[in-house]
Chains A and B, each alone.
Chain A
Amino acid sequence: MAEANATTATKEQVLYGNILDIGMKIGMVILFVFFALYVFGIMKPAIPVQDLDQYYSMPAHEYLQAITANYDAIEETPDQWNWLSLVSHGDYLNLIGIAFLAAVTIFCYIAIVPTLIKEGDKLYAGLSILEVLILLLAASGLVSGGH
């Protein structure tokens, strides 16, 4: 792939690529640093690491019920965005890095919309806005798993 020279990278494509690059690297650094804080015990987790293997084999909804019932630190079921109240704990702090990585694509789409509008490409600007809305719907937690 590296052997091919492209001549068709548009302005919005390069912009998307640049933001993706920066976002991905920031996300990976956050992921790495926060995981180190967690795994080396620098930040206390809400769920003790020694207990984790008891939950690995549970379905997600049972796992959420069990940890909410079993640990004082977890007052509310940590699904959707409720986990944000637990980010002072090492394990839930890690979800920030994961959420950031999952949000990078949304940032990229938002960034290219003004360029597309400026170039009069209303169709692709509309499709990009629609994609942002779809990803925000997924991120909102409104789509439940139906367990």
Chain B
Amino acid sequence: MLPKIMKTGGLALAGSLLLLPALALAANGGPEAAAATAAATGEYAWWFWPLILFIITFVMGIFAVLGGVGGGVLFVPIIGSFSFFPFHMDFVRGAGLLVALSGALAAGPGLLRSGMANLRLAIPVALVASTCAILGAKLGLGMPEYLTKGLLGIVIMFIVVVMVTAKKSEVPDVPKSDALSSSMRIFGVFTDQSSGQEIDWKIHRTPLGLFLFIFIGLIAGMFGLGAGWANVPVLNLVMGAPIKISVATSKFLLSITDTSAAWTYFTNGCIIPMMVVPSVIGIMLGSFIGVRLLKVTKPVVVRWVVIAILLFAGIKSLMAGWSAYQEKNMAADEPQHHSEVIEQIQPAAASPVHPAADMIG
């Protein structure tokens, strides 16, 4: 009874989510009103950016599913690197983590109950990755923006290389499980319906795998990226878990790694609901559509499109980092410049709190 209610509730929620942006847009007069406001004030209407984020993340959700990547790995480089978007990297990373977390939370229950994600494999790995994600988030929040963007560019290009070159093994050959995984009883059985084959699996090189998750956690926390691109090769190629178990466990793992990093960004004030909620809604709706489009599109072609987008975003991020570095040096040469900017911002921000009804008027 309860699962039925939850399922119906989930469908009702998805339907309602679909209506929300449209209602918000209608309530505020549509794109013409945004353009009129922008023309009148020289700035966009308040709902312009949440709406843009919703649209962009909706498209991202579709591409992420078709390209076989997580939403977080697209969100941060695209929203953080293109100068069109006004958002500081602190908020982009906070939102990116919550986008990745939402996707992982949504997928987790099915993957766990079906047994495709393996909790015994995930728990030790998640402990290492989530601990290091906190450290990564702390380091990332302490870094100047030019360094964050520059390093993000390098990481994104590395992800592209991994996506292009990493092979996958359906069922890797693991002659003997290592002592650590044996003592932790990390093994399992699943039946692959496509082949009808019952597969016993076990893992090896567990200490090396756990060591690599130190870096995965650090990168996830530092840049607010979901780390599925790194989880899967380590679980599959290094530790020897079958590809289906690796992909499912990786997706579930994100719900733990990203939780620890997301909390760190959250408690440091890096969460703006007007950015986060439309992005989460957009990516989830896009993912629903993406899953349906999988049947009629060629994922290989889309995957190359995603790789090209990531490569472009990586280059943009590097360039943005370099520009920010030059600006910082120029600002250092003219010490009064920064204080002038702050003085210009502060009075403008100090407008009175408007009545709630004014927001949608």
Considering the complex, which residues of chain A in the window 38-90 have a beta carbon less than 8 Å from any beta carbon of chain B? 38-61, 63-64, 66-67, 69-73, 77-81, 90
Among candidates A28, A60, A135, A137, residue contacting B13 with C-beta atoms closer than 8 Å: A28
B46 on the A face (CB < 8 A): yes
- Can you list, as one digit per residue, whether each of A75-108 has a CB less than 8 Å from chain B (1) or not (0)? 0011111000000001100110111011011100
Chain A residues near B130 (CB-CB < 8 A): 131, 134-135, 138
Chain A residues near B354 (CB-CB < 8 A): 48, 50
Chain B residues near A10 (CB-CB < 8 A): 119-120
In the complex the two chains form, is B145's CB within 8 Å of A55's CB?
Answer: no
In the complex the two chains form, is B269's CB within 8 Å of A22's CB?
Answer: no
Chain B residues near A72 (CB-CB < 8 A): 353
A111 on the B face (CB < 8 A): no
**Contact A105/B273 with A20-B109, A69-B346, A131-B123 known, Cβ cut-off 8 Å:** no
Interface centre among B145, B191, B264, B356, by most A CB within 10 Å? B356
B328 on the A face (CB < 8 A): no
**Contact A18/B351 with A8-B189, A57-B86, A104-B105 known, Cβ cut-off 8 Å:** no
- Can you list, as one digit per residue, whether each of A99-124 has a CB less than 8 Å from chain B (1) or not (0)? 10110111000001000000000011
Chain B residues near A141 (CB-CB < 8 A): 267-268
Among candidates B137, B141, B145, B277, residue contacting A94 with C-beta atoms closer than 8 Å: B277
**Contact A40/B24 with A14-B113, A21-B109 known, Cβ cut-off 8 Å:** yes
In the complex the two chains form, is B269's CB within 8 Å of A1's CB?
Answer: no
Among candidates A4, A28, A56, A94, residue contacting B191 with C-beta atoms closer than 8 Å: A4
In the complex the two chains form, is B138's CB within 8 Å of A4's CB?
Answer: no
CB distance from A102 to the nearest CB of B (A): 5
In the complex the two chains form, is B356's CB within 8 Å of A44's CB?
Answer: yes
Among candidates B102, B112, B261, residue contacting A16 with C-beta atoms closer than 8 Å: B112
Among candidates B24, B116, B184, B353, residue contacting A71 with C-beta atoms closer than 8 Å: B353
Chain B contact residues: over half helix, strand or loop, or mixed?
helix
CB distance from B212 to the nearest CB of A (A): 18
Chain B residues near A97 (CB-CB < 8 A): 277
Chain A residues near B264 (CB-CB < 8 A): 138, 143, 145
In the complex the two chains form, is B46's CB within 8 Å of A95's CB?
Answer: no
In the complex the two chains form, is A4's CB within 8 Å of B193's CB?
Answer: yes
- Can you list, as one digit per residue, whether each of B56-93 has a CB less than 8 Å from chain A (1) or not (0)? 00000000000000000000000000000011101100
CB distance from A107 to the nearest CB of B (A): 11
Specify the chain A residue showing the minimal Cβ separation from B139: A146
Complex Cα–Cα for A41 and B353 (A): 12
In the complex the two chains form, is A4's CB within 8 Å of B114's CB?
Answer: yes
Complex Cα–Cα for A20 and B121 (A): 18
Among candidates B88, B198, B280, residue contacting A57 with C-beta atoms closer than 8 Å: B88
In the complex the two chains form, is B273's CB within 8 Å of A124's CB?
Answer: no
Complex Cα–Cα for A7 and B197 (A): 12
**Contact A145/B138 with A48-B351, A123-B184, A138-B264 known, Cβ cut-off 8 Å:** yes
Chain B residues near A70 (CB-CB < 8 A): 346, 349-350
**Contact A54/B273 with A73-B353, A102-B266 known, Cβ cut-off 8 Å:** no
Chain B residues near A1 (CB-CB < 8 A): 111, 114, 116, 244, 247-248
In the complex the two chains form, is A4's CB within 8 Å of B244's CB?
Answer: yes
Complex Cα–Cα for A52 and B273 (A): 11
**Contact A52/B190 with A7-B115, A101-B98, A134-B134 known, Cβ cut-off 8 Å:** no
**Contact A59/B88 with A4-B191, A102-B263 known, Cβ cut-off 8 Å:** yes
Specify the chain A residue showing the minimal Cβ separation from B192: A4
Specify the chain B residue showing the minimal Cβ separation from A130: B127
Chain B residues near A35 (CB-CB < 8 A): 20, 273, 277
B276 on the A face (CB < 8 A): yes
In the complex the two chains form, is A66's CB within 8 Å of B190's CB?
Answer: no
In the complex the two chains form, is B24's CB within 8 Å of A43's CB?
Answer: no
B296 on the A face (CB < 8 A): no
In the complex the two chains form, is B273's CB within 8 Å of A91's CB?
Answer: yes
In the complex the two chains form, is A61's CB within 8 Å of B269's CB?
Answer: yes
B27 on the A face (CB < 8 A): yes
Complex Cα–Cα for A12 and B46 (A): 46
CB distance from B231 to the nearest CB of A (A): 15
Complex Cα–Cα for A28 and B101 (A): 12
CB-defined A-B contacts under 8 Å, sample of 7: A3-B194, A6-B190, A39-B274, A56-B87, A127-B124, A138-B263, A147-B141
The 4 closest A-B pairs by CB, nearest first: A6-B115, A145-B141, A146-B142, A17-B112
